[in-house]
Amino acid sequence: GRRVSREPCKQTQAVTSYSNEGTQVTVEVHPKDSAPQLFKKLSFGKGPQRLPSLTGQDNKGFQRTEAPRPPGGKDLHAYPWDKSSLKSMPVDLQQFEKLDAYALKVNVKNSVEELVKALLKQARTDLEKVRAIWMWICHHIEYDVVGYHNKSQLSSRPIDVLQTGKSICEGYAGLFEQMCSIAGIQCMKLSGYSKGYGYKMGQTFTGDSDHAWNAVYLDGRWHLLDSTWGSGAVDDSFTKFTFRYNEFYFLTHPALFINNHFPDNSNWQLLKPTVTLKDFESNMLHNSNFYMLGLLTAHPETAVIRTVNGKASVSVDCRSATLFTFKLKGTDEHGLMTLKKHSMKLDVYPQKTGSHKLQIFAKPSKASDDVYKCVLEYVVECESVDKAMRFPKDLHQPVGPSWFTERQGFLRPSHPDPVIHTNDGRCSVTFTLGKDISVLASLHCDNSSLTEDMRRRHIMQIHRGNQIELKIHLPHAGNFVLKIYAKKKSDPGNYDYIFNYLITCLNTEVKWPAFPQSYSKWVEDYEILEPLSGLLPANRNVQFKLKMHGIAKVLVQAENAYPLTQSRGCWEGTCNTSGCREVFVMVHENANHSFYSHVLKYEVESQ
């Protein structure tokens, strides 16, 4: 009995996430209602095997159960899991609320029979009887840390477990079996291997079994449950038990139960086909959080992933929109995570060879708190490093558009993928915008000398109706982050970060100047057709063509002033750049006004 089962990776850690408003928050992750320390779930060693005799005066008035039948064809469930239900039979937890509350209050310690009698007062069906027994044990029997370390002080006899209120898995399962027997319900105590405390990914199992649990017979079929793991968790130093009820282990679907319970007798897997020990050892450990959060499957299904050309990929399918984060060796820098409505995809590029721990965390999109729970743990074996996939430090996960950005009003993206590759250093991204949204975008790059102002001036916004186009001209080759912020136009407050893209350009010839600087009188749906470059050649005639409406006159002010003429919705004309360092575009908003407003400013190359 070496193993106490664990819920892996609940350590405190900072995780960056985005609330529904798109604001960035950093949260500490620890288990609900606990101090920030690692908790583990339990499975325990064996104690003495003796069970007290069930004959005797106390049993009067209780029906006796006939000898349990072994599991057969009608007990079996298909493997792998069909994604239908987390339970092996239909269970409406709301209907149990009254019964659960009653069972928690029952306080009988003098005999197991008296306890069962008290619990059954509110239970009619066999399912309700099993539920009442389950709830009572999960909330009243604690894991015996002292007894685990000192077996001589440990008894797993049901009456001793009841009176001391503590035990190890053997005692939980024995008490459960006896209480069911008294209640007239067939129940078996099962033993086997578990992926519990001290379990290491990919390890092999040999020797004696290390855990005990139960099967109960309800509605003509066998079902599985584990009251030890339903009751709570032990801390990392294995000195303190904390009650933390876990619904997952009540009548768990056998195709999910096999994930961390491997019975000595394979018939008690209740599966068709049965899983081999070799498969049990290599299969991914999904903890109960994984399924309780509505996640369905994860690929790969093995715990160890080898990189191919420096990259390892993981994907998760989920029932509903879910937020994810990850940590590769404690940081989320070396990956690209993308979210879809019913899935998450993650590519990681470790920047060192060797073994790396990869943890994936999740929370429901509607969760009010910002606690991400660990749902998966892998080991990534990296044989070679892809240096080209070194991401800028400003890149935030997830990358690219998702169901989350849709909720924020960015619809029908022209680039659904997280990475935009450009050969000539130019690209453009378009969206349909929801109502009343004002957008801000900026370009970020490691070791780049871009000032705050220039980060924005390498992006030009073009609005056509409810469509927005972001035209991007890169200042040089490299990996860039395009960050997109938004706010309601009617809202005077700050812009909230919404999402980002990665833009890559390998062409070292690329060197685009910024777009011209625009002033507040430059209206959202104006458009520059030419010149797009904010840097004009010296001593040249430059052609201007601007799409603007609702104004009386347009002037281009260089050394001299050059009026533009209007034709078909555009203002056009030529200006000569000799003798000046700056060129301004000015507009007369109203024929009666005597003054012009500046709308654009261009620089002129030095001679």
| Nearest Cα residue to 240 out of 143, 337, 356, 169 | 143
In a domain, 46, yes or no: no
Which residues, at least 6 apart from 60, have a Cβ–Cβ distance to it below 8 Å? none
Element (H, E) at 374: strand 373-382
Q: What are the pLDDT digits (tens) for 1-25?
A: 435 555 444 443 444 334 344 434 3
End position of a domain, from candidates 206, 236, 268: 268
Dihedral of alpha carbons 396, 402, 403, 405, sign:
positive
Domain final residue pick, 456, 482, 505: 505
Same-domain status, 450 and 362: no
One domain for residues 301 and 167: no
Boundary of a domain, candidates 484, 505, 526: 505
Q: Say how far residue 62 (Cα) sits from the centre of its chain.
A: 49
38 occurs within a structural domain: no
Work out the pLDDT band at 315, boundaries 50, 70, 90: very high
Specify if 78 maps to a domain.
no
Q: What CATH number is associated with residue 369?
A: 2.60.40.10
Residue 226 is among the residues annotated as catalytic for this protein = yes
Largest CA distance in the chain: 115
Query: Which residues span the domain enclosing 195?
Result: 93-268
pLDDT digit string, tens, across residues 570-579: 999 999 999 9
Residue scoring higher pLDDT (567 or 7): 567
**478: region left, alpha or beta (phi > 0 left; psi from -120 to 50 alpha):** left
Give yes or no: residues 440 and 551 share one domain. no
Q: CATH no. for residue 535?
A: 2.60.40
Arithmetic mean of pLDDT, 412-441: 96
- Domain membership flag for residue 396: no
With cut-offs at 50, 70 and 90, classify the pLDDT of residue 349. Answer: very high
Instruction: List the catalytic residue out of 9, 138, 169, 374.
Output: 169
Are 500 and 522 part of one and the same domain? no
Average pLDDT over residues 245-251: 97
pLDDT band at 151 (very low <50, low <70, confident <90, very high): confident
Residues 542 and 482 reside in one and the same domain: no
168 in the same domain as 263: yes
Instruction: State the pLDDT confidence band at 68, using cuts at 50, 70 and 90.
Output: confident
pTM: 0.79
Kindly state whether residue 273 falls inside one of the protein's structural domains: no
pLDDT of residue 370: 77
Of 211, 253, 356, 473, catalytic? 211
Instruction: Mark whether 169 is an active-site residue.
Output: yes
Asked whether residue 152 carries a pLDDT value surpassing 90, the answer given is no
Answer whether residue 425 is part of any domain.
Answer: yes
Please, is 428 exposed, middle or buried when counting C-beta atoms within 10 Å of its C-beta (0-12, 13-18, 19+)?
middle
Q: Are residues 558 and 587 part of one domain? A: yes
Shared-domain flag, residues 296 and 253: no
DSSP state of 68: P
Are 470 and 415 within one domain? yes
Is 386 marked active-site?
no
Residue 119 to residue 418: CA distance in whole angstroms: 56
| 125-134, 488-497, 503-512, 592-601: range with lowest mean pLDDT | 592-601
Q: Do 100 and 215 sit in the same domain of this protein?
A: yes
pLDDT, averaged across the chain: 88
Between helices 112-120 and 169-182, what is the axis angle to 10°? 60
Tens-place pLDDT, residues 269-301:
999 999 999 999 988 888 899 999 999 999 998
pLDDT band for position 62 (50/70/90)?
low
Domain co-membership, 164 together with 97: yes
**In angstroms, what is the C-alpha Rg of the chain?**
33
Catalytic residue from among 75, 100, 144, 226: 226
Residues 106 and 255 in one domain: yes
Report strand pairing: 582-588 vs 77-78.
Answer: unpaired
Asked if residue 542 belongs to a domain, the reply is yes
Strands (DSSP E) found in 31-129: 39-41, 77-78
Token pair of 290 as six digits: 């994984």
Answer whether residue 158 is part of any domain.
yes
Question: How many domains does one find in the chain?
Answer: 4
Residue 480: pLDDT band (50, 70, 90) is: very high
